[in-house]
């Protein structure tokens, strides 16, 4: 089939057959489809969308472009389960969630992605740890998951290889928000990992790709239905992205916040609520807990007794990171040369935050990508980020900027001030957990 005719058909609103979709994806896999054609295809899908039938065909074709893991021969003794987020600013939930689920008896082969647009990527955060191999071969993945209970890695050459090119093109062609492409991209990676169940974190709000609840529900429904057609039971939780999740944004800074969370030194309440909601749903969906109360009790126990932190440390070591990383992370993580406070121009209570704008500041600092393949500065970012309802003034900063020069820091300070709206009276932040959706 001529690829340009497949693109033309979708551009004009036609429904692609499974054969046409397979032809396109096979071309991606063997290199006969050009990057320009991929760009044209993603833009056509962005404007014309796809039916569930098309999305399911696209997902299956992308899975078939590589290997699908089979855990049945590993005698794990527990369910294989994962979680995926649609992307947010300061979203380091996966780093906490994977070892917590492993500590409760689940197995988490987490195939994660890099940052897209203004949102950070789980894989980028893990690569802030020196020596950590984020793209091991499948034999290593199997060994680490069986031994520690979890492994946070990126797509290997064997898993849904056709998705990697589409994923990179979407990031720089303003087609990230396509529900059809998001669904196929997420599920091709997750189903390739051989999951028994999946829980989705669908971000909604000004800092999310899905800015309205209606959009988020449409995406959740698309993922749940498509996953169901591939025999992977899936639930979705809609969570707010009206403000940065947690208190940091930036790769090394978010790793530190993860360690603070797992160790119990500091647990931001809204971040904790999201983590507990997602992990509880995972335990319920896989029958590792019979009730939400039982699930929460198990999760709190593995945090309190330190087992989740131990598993995180084991995972880091097994994938090439320092054996003493948890205890001595300050020696290993990259550090910014300049740290400066961001003070509000006027005193007041934070009433609204341009979260997308905050995320773009991380990209501007070099902590996110503006072009494919860009090497990230792991040290830069924002810390101690104020949230809605909190008071800021000339002595109480709205954030701390981590930059590599005074000039960079000063520019980010000015930009950050523009991202915040203040009021004379405190306002309550919107609920962080909005809705649970099931099949």
158, pLDDT greater than 90 = no
Mean pLDDT, range 292-305, rounded to an integer: 98
Query: Rounded to an integer, what distance in angstroms lies between the CA atom of residue 105 and that of residue 100?
Result: 9
Query: Is 92 known to be catalytic?
Result: no
Mean pLDDT, range 305-334, rounded to an integer: 98
CB 89 within 8 A of CB 358: yes
pLDDT digits (tens, 9 = 90+) for 385-409: 999 999 999 999 999 999 999 999 9
Nearest alpha-carbon partner for 371 in 126, 114, 36, 181:
114
**Predicted structure pTM score:** 0.92
Instruction: Quote the tokens at residue 128.
Output: 């802030």
User: CATH top-level class for 335-423?
Assistant: alpha beta
Sheet of 338-342, strands arranged across: 338-342, 399-403, 381-383
Query: Is 148 known to be catalytic?
Result: no
DSSP 422: E
Query: Is 280 known to be catalytic?
Result: no
**pLDDT of the residue at 103:** 98
Mean pLDDT, range 122-151, rounded to an integer: 96
Nearest alpha-carbon partner for 109 in 101, 121, 119, 117:
101
For the chain, which residues make up each domain, given as ranges? 3-64, 81-329, 335-423
* CATH fold of 81-329: Pyrimidine Nucleoside Phosphorylase; Chain A, domain 2 (3.40.1030)
**pLDDT of the residue at 36:** 93
Query: Rounded to an integer, what distance in angstroms lies between the CA atom of residue 288 and that of residue 270?
Result: 24
**Phi, then psi, of 433 in degrees rounded to 5:** -100, 115
Who's near 360: CB < 8 A, 6+ residues apart?
118, 368
Query: Is 434 known to be catalytic?
Result: no
**pLDDT of the residue at 113:** 78
**pLDDT of the residue at 116:** 67
Q: Which of 65, 85, 168, 192 is flagged as catalytic?
A: 85
DSSP 376: P
2, pLDDT greater than 90 = no
Query: Is 85 known to be catalytic?
Result: yes
**pLDDT of the residue at 210:** 86
**pLDDT of the residue at 49:** 95
Query: Is 86 known to be catalytic?
Result: no
Instruction: Quote the tokens at residue 41.
Output: 């295809």
Q: Which of 114, 118, 164, 170 is flagged as catalytic?
A: 170
Share of the chain above pLDDT 90, in %: 83
Mean pLDDT, range 307-331, rounded to an integer: 98
**pLDDT of the residue at 170:** 84
CB atoms within 10 A of CB 225: 15
User: CATH top-level class for 3-64?
Assistant: mainly alpha
């Amino acid at each position: 089939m001529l690829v340009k005719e497949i693109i033309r058909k979708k551009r004009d609103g036609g429904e692609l057959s499974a054969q046409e979709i397979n032809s396109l994806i096979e071309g991606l896999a063997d290199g006969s489809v050009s990057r320009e054609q991929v760009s044209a295809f993603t833009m056509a899908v962005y404007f014309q969308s796809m039916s569930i039938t098309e999305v399911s065909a696209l997902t299956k074709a992308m899975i078939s472009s590589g290997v699908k893991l089979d855990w049945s021969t590993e005698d794990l003794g527990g369910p294989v389960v994962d979680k995926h987020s649609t992307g947010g600013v300061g979203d380091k939930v996966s780093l906490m969630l994977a070892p917590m689920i492993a500590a409760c008896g689940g197995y988490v082969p987490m195939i994660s992605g890099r940052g897209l647009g203004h949102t950070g990527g789980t894989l980028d955060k893990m690569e802030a740890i020196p020596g950590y191999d984020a793209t091991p071969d499948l034999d290593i993945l199997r060994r680490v998951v069986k031994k520690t209970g979890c492994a946070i890695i990126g797509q290997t050459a064997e898993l849904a290889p056709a998705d990697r090119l589409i994923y990179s093109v979407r990031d720089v062609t303003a087609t990230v928000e396509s529900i059809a492409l998001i669904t196929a991209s997420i599920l091709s990676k997750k189903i390739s990992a051989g999951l028994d169940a999946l829980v989705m974190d669908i971000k909604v709000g000004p800092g999310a790709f899905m800015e309205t609840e209606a959009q988020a529900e449409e995406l959740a429904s698309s993922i749940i239905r498509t996953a169901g057609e591939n025999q992977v039971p899936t639930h979705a939780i809609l969570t707010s992205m009206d403000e940065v999740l947690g208190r940091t944004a930036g790769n090394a800074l978010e790793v530190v916040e993860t360690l603070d969370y797992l160790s119990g030194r500091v647990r931001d309440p809204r971040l904790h609520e999201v983590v507990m909601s997602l992990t509880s749903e995972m335990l319920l969906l896989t029958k590792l807990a019979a009730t939400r109360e039982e699930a929460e009790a198990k999760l709190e126990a593995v945090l309190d007794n330190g087992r989740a932190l131990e598993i995180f440390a084991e995972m880091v070591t097994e994938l090439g990171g320092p054996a003493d990383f948890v205890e001595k992370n300050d020696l290993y993580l990259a550090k910014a040369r300049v740290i400066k406070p961001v003070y509000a121009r006027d005193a007041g209570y934070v009433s609204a935050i341009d979260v997308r704008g905050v995320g773009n500041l991380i990209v501007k600092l070099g902590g996110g990508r503006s072009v494919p393949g860009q090497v990230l500065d792991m040290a830069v970012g924002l810390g101690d980020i104020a949230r809605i309802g909190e008071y800021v003034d000339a002595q109480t900063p709205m954030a701390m900027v981590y930059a590599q020069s005074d000039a960079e820091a000063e520019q980010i300070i000015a930009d950050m001030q523009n991202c915040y709206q203040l009021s004379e009276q405190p306002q309550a932040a919107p609920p962080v957990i909005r809705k649970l959706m099931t099949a």
